[in-house]
Amino acid sequence: EVQLVQSGAEVKKPGESLKISCKGSGYSFTSYWIGWVRQRPGKGLEWMGIIYPGDSNTRYSPSFQGQVTISADKSISTAYLQWSSLKASDTAMYYCVRHGLGGNYYMDVWGKGTTVTVSS
């Protein structure tokens, strides 16, 4: 079964750092782009950026460039999303997604999400 398994919920204080993970299984992890999608409480979906685990080629949405870092370790089929200094506005659900083949950018596999709460 193709799946993305995300790390558990996090509660952090403003200014702290955080790295959440997404482990792929059931498919060739290095052959598909992995992306991250943010959903703030009660709000819609926002695409943050993607990484190609095969060569770590990474692209960011301008809205998130410089705010987060996307990385991957292909040896353990895991992608990461990290912050160096969290803000209250980073409070959200974060989904990792697999982008399907063909250049369409559709997201055919979704993780269950990681809730990040930033509060003093």
Partner 1 sequence: QSVLTQPPSASGTPGQRVTISCSGSSSNIGSNTVNWYQQLPGTAPKLLIYSNNQRPSGVPDRFSGSKSGTSASLAISGLQSEDEADYYCAAWDDSLNVVVFGGGTKLTVL
User: Using CB under 8 A as the criterion, what x/- string covers residues 63-82 for binding partner 1?
Assistant: x-------------------
Residue 29 CA to residue 76 CA, distance in Å, equals 9
DSSP state of 7: P
CB-based contacts of 22, cutoff 8 Å, min separation 6: 4, 5, 6, 7, 34, 36, 78, 79, 80, 81, 96, 111
117 binds partner 1, rule: CB under 8 A: no
Contacts to partner 1 from residues 13-42, by CB under 8 A: 35, 37
- Indicate which single residue of 44, 66, 75, 120 sits in contact with partner 1 (rule: CB under 8 A): 44
State the residues that interact with partner 1 by CB under 8 A: 35, 37, 44-47, 59, 61-63, 95, 100, 102, 104-108, 110-113
